[in-house]
Chain A
Amino acid sequence: MHEWSMAEAVIAAVIDEAEREGLDKVTEIMVRVGGLQQMENEVFEFALNELKGAYGGSILEDARIILEREDAVLRCRFCGNEWKFSGIRLCEDEYEAIHFCPEVSHAYIRCPSCKSPDFDLLTGRGVSIAWIKGVKGEEDGSESEHP
Chain B
Amino acid sequence: MDPRVSILDRRLCEVRRIIAVTGGKGGVGKSLITAALGLNLSRLGFRVALLDLDLTSPSLHIILGADDIFPEEEKGIIPPEVAGVKLMSIIYFTARNPSPLRGPDISNATLELLANTIWGEVDFLMVDMPPGVGDVMMDIIRWMRGSEFLIVSNPSKLVLETVIKVIKLLTELDLPILGVIENMKRGERSSWEKLSGFGIPFLGELPYFEDLEDAIGDPEMLLSSGFGRRLGEIAAGLI
A-side residues, CB < 8 A to B, are 1-2, 4-6, 8-10, 12-17, 93, 97-98, 100-104, 106-108, 117-118, 125-129, 147
- Judging by beta carbons under 8 Å apart, are B112 and A5 in contact? no
Within 8 Å by CB of A9, from B3, B95, B98, B118, lies: B3
Q: Is B93 an interface residue (CB 8 A)?
A: yes
In the assembled complex, how far is the CB of residue A18 from the closest CB belonging to chain B, in whole angstroms?
11
- Judging by beta carbons under 8 Å apart, are A12 and B109 in contact? no
How far, in angstroms, from A16 to B3 measured CA to CA in the complex? 10
In the assembled complex, how far is the CB of residue B74 from the closest CB belonging to chain A, in whole angstroms?
8
In the assembled complex, how far is the CB of residue B120 from the closest CB belonging to chain A, in whole angstroms?
13
Of B76, B93, B109, B112, which is in contact with the most chain A CB atoms at under 10 Å from its CB? B93
- Judging by beta carbons under 8 Å apart, are B3 and A100 in contact? no
How far, in angstroms, from A13 to B3 measured CA to CA in the complex? 5
Cβ of B2: which chain A residues have Cβ within 8 Å of it? 13, 128-129
Cβ of A127: which chain B residues have Cβ within 8 Å of it? 3-4
- Judging by beta carbons under 8 Å apart, are A100 and B93 in contact? yes
Cβ of B76: which chain A residues have Cβ within 8 Å of it? 1-2, 4-5, 8
How far, in angstroms, from A4 to B90 measured CA to CA in the complex? 20
Q: A8-B7, A13-B6, A104-B99 provided; 20 other pairs, C-beta below 8 A? A: A2-B77, A5-B77, A9-B3, A9-B6, A10-B3, A12-B3, A12-B7, A13-B3, A14-B3, A97-B95, A100-B116, A102-B108, A106-B100, A106-B101, A106-B105, A107-B93, A117-B98, A117-B100, A118-B102, A126-B112
Cβ of B95: which chain A residues have Cβ within 8 Å of it? 93, 97, 107
- Judging by beta carbons under 8 Å apart, are A128 and B1 in contact? yes
| Chain A interface, >50% SS class | helix
Within 8 Å by CB of B73, from A2, A14, A102, A126, lies: A2
- Judging by beta carbons under 8 Å apart, are A5 and B6 in contact? no
Of A100, A126, A128, which is in contact with the most chain B CB atoms at under 10 Å from its CB? A100
- Judging by beta carbons under 8 Å apart, are B93 and A97 in contact? yes
- Judging by beta carbons under 8 Å apart, are A6 and B3 in contact? yes
Cβ of B97: which chain A residues have Cβ within 8 Å of it? 107-108
Cβ of B7: which chain A residues have Cβ within 8 Å of it? 5, 8-9, 12-13
In the assembled complex, how far is the CB of residue B179 from the closest CB belonging to chain A, in whole angstroms?
33
In the assembled complex, how far is the CB of residue B195 from the closest CB belonging to chain A, in whole angstroms?
35
- Judging by beta carbons under 8 Å apart, are A100 and B99 in contact? no
- Judging by beta carbons under 8 Å apart, are B99 and A107 in contact? yes
- Judging by beta carbons under 8 Å apart, are A118 and B100 in contact? yes
Cβ of B73: which chain A residues have Cβ within 8 Å of it? 1-2
User: CB-nearest residue of chain A relative to B75?
Assistant: A4
How far, in angstroms, from A93 to B141 measured CA to CA in the complex? 33
Contact mask B6-29 → A, CB, 8 Å, 1/0?
110010000000000000000000
Cβ of A125: which chain B residues have Cβ within 8 Å of it? 108
